[in-house]
Amino acid sequence: MAERLSNREGIKGMANPTRYGMERFAYWLQRISGLGLLAYLIGHIYETSTILHGKAAWDSMLSLTETPGGHLVLVLVIGMCVFHTGNGIRLMISEGGKGVGKPGQPEYPYRALSLNSKQRLCIWVSIALAALAMMYGAGVLFGD
Amino acid sequence: MATVTVPEEKKIDSTPAAPEESKPKTITLRISRSNPSENLETKFDEFKVPVQKWTTVLEAILYVKSNLDHSVAVRYSCRQASCGSCGMKINGKPRLACYTKISELDSNVITIEPMNNFPIIRDLAVNFDQLISTHKKMKPYIINEESEVQPGTKEFIQTPKDLEKFLQFSYCIKCGLCNSACPTMATDESFIGPQGLAQAYRYTADNRDQGKKDRLKIVDQSHGIWRCHFAGSCSNVCPKGVDPAMAIQLLRGYLLGFRK
Amino acid sequence: MVIKMRESIIMKIHYGTALGAVALVAVHILMRMSQKFTDSLAYQNVMANYHFLPYALMLEVILVLLSVHGFNGLRVILLELKQGVTYERAINYGSIAAMAALIAYGSRTILMAGMGMS
């Protein structure tokens, strides 16, 4: 009701990565990967705690995670980790005011300098590095 | 003595090519209709509108108002992207209706809705109270103990380089498109928003201004500048080249100590 | 008791923990890659890691950095989703509590495994 009255887009609008270009897509990926990594961190801390219950408990936990499904999750985590890092460094530098262009007289058709090719390149490089790391990770995990 | 070079005389073709003929066509305008003061229902009314290649969305809406349904509520004024009144969601993206030609949308069906993140007054007209009050909170004026109007005080000299530091941000027409596109504004009703933050930077970057400390304090709060995640949607839709995303990152530079 | 920290300080911590974590997690992953992955997870190898003090200390630092960074990130997302004094206070204190709980739980593993109490 309140959302209807204020006409806010809500979570659906916030989480929609399909409009407004590459930067909005990177924003969405950064959020998703951040949430995924936090979930993994909690799970990882729980799984490693089983070592306190001895070798049998550790081995039984490993038998649960050392499966094709478990490896697939790990490959995804590697991808999220690399993208979140690469894009996060881009954001940190940009949020300090670097690489977002220099203010000046805007000229028609008024393309925003902050949405420049360097920014997009960094996003693509983060995606590419994530893909490469996932491939390498898959090779190690499934190759064993 | 200055010399003027007169361009060589060119032969003018006596039979100039006829201007490209614009073929009129008919498009369907889907206009969102709602009146929250009566009920929460929203429906779409469809209208067939004849358009030329230069017809703007605003002209199409005004055609509907004049000929098909005069009850469509829309706010507009200058018709030349200067007043910032006719912001609305056109085919899913916030745009100025007077600045958007039907032909550039590449579709025979144009869906028009009120801008998101603003309360609806009726149909396409939205309430700007929050945007204006947030804008005012940013102290959008030069803060300086000295004043040019007081006798005996010096004028504030500014070089073109000084001017360039904030010029583009002063072109904001307060149309609200940036706030409508912002992903944080979609859920955070307390967020200052790209419009207000860009204006905070505009005055902070002005070398005549001494209010930097005040403004930085205002934006450095839990629903302030840090709720921007540089998704760039504000700059993507800005029709005046203000580039609010750039202003926000530059303003953040002060808080992070990268700028003085 | 109301803890008030300026948002710019919180975000500086957010950036700092991110940079620290990137460097240390890289070392953590490289340690897994120093031998065959499945071998590196063998019980005696993992226990040896915990018994090696510098590595255990590094795990502790990673745990703190990632917990602070992760739960502050979650706090930011949750603060943007809904507003209100009670809700925001619950989110702020809740994320500090979650951070502390995760650090405590992880530290317990590092400490007890390091001291051979398993």
CATH of the domain at C53: 1.20.1300
Residue C1 is assigned to a structural domain of this protein: no
Find the domain containing C22 and state its range.
7-114
For residue range B125-147, what is the model confidence (pLDDT) as tens digits?
Answer: 999 999 999 999 999 999 988 77
> What is the distance between the alpha carbons of residues B116 and B25, in angstroms, rounded to a whole number?
30
Is residue A25 pLDDT above 80, yes or no? yes
| More confident: A134 or A143 | A134
**pLDDT score at C2:** 52
If you average pLDDT over residues B23-49, what whole number do you get?
93
Which tokens in the block code for residue B215?
């403004």
**pLDDT score at C31:** 86
* Of residues B190, B191, B220, nearest to C7 (C-beta): B220
Return the residue in A29, A110, A111, A120 with the most chain B beta carbons within 10 A, the one to mutate for interface testing. Answer: A110
What is the end-to-end Cα distance of chain A in Å, rounded? 55
Show which of residues 208-227 on chain B sit within 8 Å of chain A, judged by CB atoms.
none
Q: What's the whole-model pTM score?
A: 0.91
If you average pLDDT over residues A21-40, what whole number do you get?
97
What value does the mean pLDDT of chain A take?
93
Q: Return the sign of the alpha-carbon dihedral for residues A19, A36, A124, A127.
A: negative
If you average pLDDT over residues B167-190, what whole number do you get?
97
3-state secondary structure of B174: coil
**Neighbouring C-alpha atoms within 13 Å toward the C-beta of A26:** 29
If you average pLDDT over residues B176-184, what whole number do you get?
97
| Chain C residue with minimum CA distance to B222 | C7
Inter-chain touch C79–B222, beta carbons under 8 Å:
yes
Closest-CA residue to B231 (of A125, A127, A30, A98): A30
What value does the mean pLDDT of chain C take?
93
- Residues A10-47 as b or e (16 or more Cβ within 10 Å = b): beebbeebebbbbbbbbbbbbbebbebbbebbbebbeb
Contact (Cβ atoms closer than 8 angstroms) between residue B56 and residue B98: yes
Residue C99 is assigned to a structural domain of this protein: yes
For residue range A46-85, what is the model confidence (pLDDT) as tens digits?
Answer: 999 999 999 999 999 999 888 999 999 999 999 999 999 9
The total number of structural domains that make up chain C: 1
Residue C21 is assigned to a structural domain of this protein: yes
For residue range B73-116, what is the model confidence (pLDDT) as tens digits?
Answer: 999 999 999 999 999 999 999 999 999 999 999 999 999 999 99
If you average pLDDT over residues B210-222, what whole number do you get?
96
Q: Given phi > 0 = left and psi -120 to 50 = alpha, else beta, which region is B243?
A: left
Q: What ranges do the domains of chain B cover?
A: 25-126, 129-146+156-256
Q: Given phi > 0 = left and psi -120 to 50 = alpha, else beta, which region is A131?
A: alpha
**pLDDT score at B77:** 97
Q: Which fold has domain B129-146+156-256?
A: Fumarate Reductase Iron-sulfur Protein; Chain B, domain 2 (1.10.1060)
Is residue B18 pLDDT above 60, yes or no? yes
> What is the distance between the alpha carbons of residues B89 and A79, in angstroms, rounded to a whole number?
35
* Of residues A66, A92, A144, nearest to C36 (C-beta): A144
Is residue B10 pLDDT above 60, yes or no? no
Does the domain formed by B25-126 have CATH 3.10.20.30?
A: yes
Give the amino acid at B86.
C
Is residue C34 pLDDT above 90, yes or no? no
* Of residues A46, A59, A144, nearest to C37 (C-beta): A144
Contacts of C108 in chain A (CB under 8 A): 49, 52
Interface of B with C (CB under 8 A): 184, 187-191, 220-227, 255-256
CATH of domain A22-94+112-143: 1.20.1300
Lowest mean pLDDT, pick from A28-42, C21-35, C75-89: C21-35
**Residues β-bridged to residue B126:** B120
Question: Angle A137-A142-A143 (CA atoms, 0-180°, nearest 5)?
Answer: 95
Q: What ranges do the domains of chain A cover?
A: 22-94+112-143
Provide ipTM, 2 decimals: 0.93
- Residues A49-67 as b or e (16 or more Cβ within 10 Å = b): bbbbeeeeebeebbeeebe
Residue B241 CB contacts under 8 Å (≥ 6 apart), including other chains: A106, A107, A108, A110, A111, A112, B168, B171
**pLDDT score at B146:** 78
Omega prior to B160 cis, within 30 of 0: no
Q: Which chains touch A (3 or more CB pairs under 8 A)?
A: B, C
Residue C75 is assigned to a structural domain of this protein: yes
**pLDDT score at A1:** 47
Lowest mean pLDDT, pick from A49-53, B29-33, B35-39, B119-123: B35-39
Q: Return the sign of the alpha-carbon dihedral for residues C22, A42, A52, C94.
A: positive
**Residues β-bridged to residue B44:** B32
Report percent pLDDT > 70 for chain C.
Answer: 97
To the nearest whole angstrom, how far is the Cα of B194 from the nearest Cα of chain A? 14
